Amino acid sequence: MKNLMLYLLLMACVPVVAQETVSSVQLDSYLIDSATKKVGTLHLVNKTGNPVFQLKGAGRKSFEIRNGNELYWKKTKQPDRNAYDITVTDGATSADFRILKNQFHRNKVIAHRGAFKNTGATENSIGSLKHAIALGCEGSEFDIHMSSDSVPFIHHDPTIDSITIEKTSSATLAKLKLPNGEFLPTLDAYLAAGVKQYTTKLIVEIKPSVISKERAIALTRKVVAAIYKHKAQAWVDYISFDYEILKEVLRLDPYARVAYLRGDVDPGKIAADKMFGIDYNSGVFQKKPEWITAAKKNNLTINVWTVNDPALMDWFLQQQVDFITTNEPELLLKKINVH
């Protein structure tokens, strides 16, 4: 009894340290550069001292660490693979990473809610994701809300069939059918489908909560955890209208690629907050074309939504933006292939 009291007293004195990141071992890029064979740089965050990084895991023989923290792919007698799973440890903690041979399309075309308009697939269905992949889009975008019992589901509006997603249990939501016959997809199912291929990126939109900021942050943590569980970091760009959601993503994963959607923050501030890009409505860039120049000057990527008009597509292609989000990926791909 005395020992128990002493233990409880000691436990009460231990300061509670919040988990600031998913892991203290972080990697800033997950793709093998085809020319240099470099993958990225390893970082130790929220820890002091000089780490000695070591490789473990099934794929370790295909990699080496140079200069203490630079991760490189190396050729072995084994056939090259699409993906390699490695573990990096600093002796105390370790992190698992899935490294990909870079086969992602580079054509600027982001299918908005998947490729749905001309394919017959329902928007935000796994079918619409598969159509975007089959078309050869650089990315396929989708939207996430969270059920009352904290399960993330894929849907654009906060409601489906007059049911508010945030106020409904996952058991009820999982029974809902989309017009194309699919069940309302969970994030888990969507990511499982997304990481079966290596050519189309997943553009993950975390929706603000209709109930509270706490739920928005809780959803963000669920989404980042799911992406780590599926080892999907190499595939994923995060986007949101809620600036605090994006800051939470960066708190958990400081090297995640995040882009802000609302269009009310200038590129200088976005860069200062260590975001990867801006993803603004086409009207914002037409009113403030100087933000295109400012974004490029700040090394931010530029995405624009939702561009369905052929003349507007041409204007943004002339501006040399990085990505164009569209309901007409077929048309934009045709334009890109002509250019």
Q: Which residues bind Mg ion (CB under 5 A)?
A: 143, 205
Contact 128, 202 (CB under 8 A): no
| CB neighbourhood size of 278 (10 A) | 30
Nearer to Mg ion, 298 or 306 (CB): 306
Residue 200 three-state SS:
coil
Nearer to Mg ion, 87 or 306 (CB): 306
Please state the closest distance from residue 213 (CB atom) to Mg ion, in A. 20
Please state the closest distance from residue 66 (CB atom) to Mg ion, in A. 40
Nearer to Mg ion, 100 or 224 (CB): 224
Determine the Cα–Cα distance for residues 257 and 130; give it in Å rounded to an integer. Answer: 23
Please state the closest distance from residue 297 (CB atom) to Mg ion, in A. 27
Nearer to Mg ion, 98 or 117 (CB): 117
Can you spell out the DSSP letters for 270-333? HHHTT--EEEEEHHHHHH-THHHHHHHHTT-EEEEE----HHHHHHHHHTT-SEEEES-HHHHH
CA separation, residue 321 to residues 114, 123, 280, 295, 329 (Å) = 20, 25, 11, 10, 16
Please state the closest distance from residue 113 (CB atom) to Mg ion, in A. 6
Please give the residue whose beta carbon sits closest to Mg ion in the complex: 205
Please state the closest distance from residue 114 (CB atom) to Mg ion, in A. 10
Nearer to Mg ion, 23 or 200 (CB): 200
Please state the closest distance from residue 284 (CB atom) to Mg ion, in A. 16
Nearer to Mg ion, 86 or 132 (CB): 132
Determine the Cα–Cα distance for residues 203 and 329; give it in Å rounded to an integer. Answer: 15
Can you spell out the DSSP letters for 109-166? EEETTSS-TTT-PPTTSHHHHHHHHHHT-SEEEEEEEE-TTS-EEE-SSSEETTEEGG
Nearer to Mg ion, 168 or 240 (CB): 240
Determine the Cα–Cα distance for residues 162 and 160; give it in Å rounded to an integer. Answer: 5
Please state the closest distance from residue 202 (CB atom) to Mg ion, in A. 12
